Structure 1
Amino acid sequence: MSEKPKCGAKTRQEDSKEFCTLAAGWGTPHPGIGHCRLHGGNTGGQKIKAAKIKADREVQVVLAELDVTPVDDPLTALSQLAGQVVAWQKATAALVNRLGDEIRYEGHAGAEQLRAEVQMYERAMDRANTVLSTIARLDIDGRLARIEESKAKLLMDAVQAGLAAIGITGDQAVKVKQVMARKLRAVSG
């Protein structure tokens, strides 16, 4: 059986090598995480740290439950990620636009702070820049187009080999290849 987490802060007694044995988060809104109330567990920094630890634990639980499959086509997956990142950036931009003049708010002791929506928007812009720069640097669109062209060429070669195997040559074979080429272009957009 695992023992409940302890505060672990060093006690104030001189020359003491003793550590607080109270439960982690005792007397705070985040039990089981960080220091106890007597050792700064309820300060702003500790609250933020506790919230991050709690969120990390929740993400780990969700990830453990996911049925993760390997990415077979990383180029397409990166393009899809770019779409999601840009959509997230637009969503956070809408949140910031709704704020109007309330981009900042007064904190403790008159300290002015940026609203969380503005910080989320800034992060979304940075992430969009990173993903889109990666796509541009890797020439994802060009690579995807070349892959599709290779697939179409393989398909056309297979059809040509099939036509030759059953004895269709000349004008009839050319006509079949033209029809296939039109259909492939229509399907690929």
Structure 2
Amino acid sequence: MPASHPPPERQCTAHRSGDGERCKNWALKNMRVCRYHGGANGRSKAAAERRRAEAVVDAQARRTLAALGAAPVENPLVALSQLAGEVNAFKDALAERVNELSNIRYSTDHGEQVRAEVTLYERAMDRAASVLGTIARLNIDERLAAISERQADAVIRAIDAALAHAGVTGQLATEARQVAARKLRAVT
């Protein structure tokens, strides 16, 4: 491709009507098409402005999330539950921004537009529904309960083995199990 042609990500996405080949012109800034394929009309300019505004809000959200850091996932069921909490918190934060708006539309020379915050809030609601739907479909609560029960059984067997090894039996062993159970309940 000659140097005058844009890289594929900046190239007009329209196709020429004569031969069906992709247009070789540069797409206009924040647009997917060149001026010859509709980039100069008001609707395209408004869509580009909306994408630019969404990109600004999205970049702010990404910086905020990046500052939180990330650890490897050891338990995907717990991680999915935590993700659901984060998705809901993000949705709620966007809801607050939307509630602070005096109107959800604004006017430009190219017509009336929906604010980027409203669009992002709608997407956040969709993501929350998707994550919560996944949790419901996978029966996460039941699976986590089953894991907790298996872990509790393993702890009880370990306590029983330690008591038997130490020679503690009868009433003393029962009392030791009760103390261990109270301490474990206090931790969970």
Normalised-by-shorter TM-score class: 0.5 to 0.7
Residue matched to 1:118: 118
Residue matched to 1:103: 104
1:28-43 matches, cutoff 5 A:
28-29=28-29
Letter in 1 for 2:177: K
Tell me whether 3-12 or 174-183 shows the greater mean CA deviation.
3-12
Residue matched to 2:131: 131
d(CA) in 2 for partners of 1:173 and 1:10? 81
Q: How far 1:140 sits from its partner (Å)?
A: 1.5
Q: How far 1:134 sits from its partner (Å)?
A: 2.0
d(CA) in 1 for partners of 2:172 and 2:79? 40
Residue matched to 1:162: 162
SS of the residue 1:143 aligns to: helix
Change (3 A) 1:180 1:99: same
TM-score, normalization: structure 1? 0.67
Letter in 2 for 1:112: E
SS of the residue 2:106 aligns to: strand
Listed as ranges, the gaps of 5+ residues in structure 2 are 60-68
Listed as ranges, the gaps of 5+ residues in structure 1 are 59-66
d(CA) in 1 for partners of 2:156 and 2:118? 53
Residue matched to 1:85: 87
Letter in 1 for 2:81: S
1:76 aligns with 2:78: yes
d(CA) in 1 for partners of 2:15 and 2:142? 59
Letter in 2 for 1:103: I
Letter in 1 for 2:172: Q
1:37-62: CA deviation from partner (whole Å, max 9, x where unpaired): 666666664884xx69xx7xx9xxxx
Letter in 2 for 1:118: V
Tell me whether 88-97 or 118-127 shows the greater mean CA deviation.
118-127
Q: How far 1:145 sits from its partner (Å)?
A: 2.1
Change (3 A) 1:75 1:10: closer
Q: How far 1:115 sits from its partner (Å)?
A: 1.3
d(CA) in 1 for partners of 2:130 and 2:91? 12
d(CA) in 1 for partners of 2:16 and 2:137? 54
Identity of aligned residues (%): 47
SS of the residue 1:71 aligns to: coil
d(CA) in 2 for partners of 1:122 and 1:70? 29
Higher relative contact order (CA 8 A, sep 6+): 2
Change (3 A) 1:140 1:10: closer
- The number of residues matched between the two structures is 165
TM-score, normalization: structure 2? 0.67
Residue matched to 2:66: none
Tell me whether 78-87 or 165-174 shows the greater mean CA deviation.
165-174
